[in-house]
Amino acid sequence: MATKIDYYAVLEVSRDANGDEIKRAYRKLAMKYHPDRNPGDTDAENRFKEINEAYDVLKDDQKRAAYDRFGHAAFEGGGPGAGGFDFGGGGLGDIFEQMFGDMMGGRRGGRRSGADLQVQVTITFAEAFSGVKKKITVPTRVTCESCDGTGSADKDAKPETCPSCHGAGKVRAQQGFFFVERPCPTCHGSGHLIRNPCKECHGTGTVEKNRTIEVAIPAGVEDGTRIRISGEGESGGKGVPAGDLYVHVSVEQHAIFQRDGANIYCRVPVRMAQAALGTEIEVPVVDGSRTKVKIPAGTQTGEHFRLRGKGFSVLRSSARGDMYIQVVVETPRHLTKRQRELLEEFEGDAAGHAKGSPESTGFFSKVKDFFEGKL
């Protein structure tokens, strides 16, 4: 038997690659080496077969585990080496059902379906706040209209049952004392033969097409959220349900608002004298409105003021987060002569007025304790 290349190496993925990474790698390579794109190139054809074989094993958790444990021996005649399978209970038939049952296409809840699709969509901070409908274009395979998905150029021709597998789509071959089941090489697993393949879809029954889908992104969505849209993935071909579409949502950062869960934070500068005397400031809200916030006399830098219910919606709930205004007291620069005089006069007065500086009072009494060895 010819030496086989490691399945992970075939798909150019690491041994700890997850299901999505394996699927992506498979799609990329399968596109590149597909026989339709490389007519008459035997190397590409062999590579394509290898890629499919590797993917059949690595996409299935059970088969992958068997492969990780036994290598290619898990799927070859002569059976696994030391260690072996546990043949108790179900018998050979069940084991092969488990190991090779899913040779074609994805499965969900035990039924076959078209492949799932992944798309990325980026929305603004404000769109995440209010919710938004986005039109997205999805490259996908849809049922070929030219042949109604039959794959045959002659629509009325009854599909012939494949003579190799008698319509089963898979063949069993004896290798050593094992029976190995694999997709029928004559009909590629479909179970029937097309004498006169459709020119649009090359007999596959599906064609690639861009579809535009409107996706409702709910208010309150967070960066990195994945939305599943059932049945909007790739067509599964005739009689097989379509896969699902997964929309990965990225949310852009905002110049003045930050987010933490459902709460929104906004840093607002307040002039030194305003903070000391107290004032009312106008602050922006994410929805584009404005609201007034009372800043009491003696507000310190870093103090928060809560605007209840002005935060993000909480998904799948009627709750809302809050918005927090975080005050930053600004020290004036480039003083005029008059300002300088006033501040000098103010400072002369402030020095003898300890209660007026709550931070300093606490701090300097601790400094005194520190030098006296009490701290």
Q: Find out whether 282 and 291 touch, Cβ atoms under 8 Å.
A: yes
How far apart are CB 206 and Zn ion at their closest, in Å? Answer: 8
How far apart are CB 148 and Zn ion at their closest, in Å? Answer: 8
- Give the footprint of Zn ion on this chain (CB under 5 A): 144, 146-147, 162, 164-165, 184, 186-187, 198, 200-201
Half-sphere exposure of 259 (CA within 13 A, CB side): 25
How far apart are CB 74 and Zn ion at their closest, in Å? Answer: 25
For Zn ion, the closer CB: 236 or 321: 236
Write out the DSSP string of 62-111: HHHHHHHHHGGGGGSTT---TT----TTTHHHHHHHHHHTT-SSEEETTE
For Zn ion, the closer CB: 10 or 207: 207
For Zn ion, the closer CB: 106 or 205: 205
User: Is 187 marked as a binding-site residue?
Assistant: yes
For Zn ion, the closer CB: 189 or 233: 189
Residues contacting 268, CB < 8 A, separation 6+? 281, 283, 293, 325, 326, 327, 328
Round to whole Å and give the CA distance between 365 and 358. 11
For Zn ion, the closer CB: 146 or 258: 146
For Zn ion, the closer CB: 146 or 301: 146
The tokens for 49 are 């077969």
- The SS3 call for residue 353 is coil
User: Is 266 marked as a binding-site residue?
Assistant: no
The CA–CA distances, whole Å, from 226 to 93, 100, 110, 118, 223 equal: 39, 31, 24, 9, 9
How far apart are CB 157 and Zn ion at their closest, in Å? Answer: 13
Half-sphere exposure of 120 (CA within 13 A, CB side): 6
Nearest to 115 by CA among 210, 228, 245: 245
User: Is 165 marked as a binding-site residue?
Assistant: yes
Round to whole Å and give the CA distance between 179 and 92. 9
How far apart are CB 171 and Zn ion at their closest, in Å? Answer: 7
Round to whole Å and give the CA distance between 15 and 365. 62
In the chain, count of helices (H) and strands (E)? 9, 17
For Zn ion, the closer CB: 132 or 198: 198
The β-bridge relationship of strands 117-123 and 245-251 is parallel
How far apart are CB 199 and Zn ion at their closest, in Å? Answer: 8
Nearest to 190 by CA among 309, 99, 105, 77: 105
How far apart are CB 322 and Zn ion at their closest, in Å? Answer: 57
Residue with tokens 């307040």: 270
For Zn ion, the closer CB: 138 or 147: 147
How far apart are CB 23 and Zn ion at their closest, in Å? Answer: 25
Q: Find out whether 251 and 344 touch, Cβ atoms under 8 Å.
A: no
User: Annotated binding site for Zn(2+): which residue ranges?
Assistant: 144, 147, 162, 165, 184, 187, 198, 201
User: Annotated binding site: which residue ranges?
Assistant: 144, 147, 162, 165, 184, 187, 198, 201
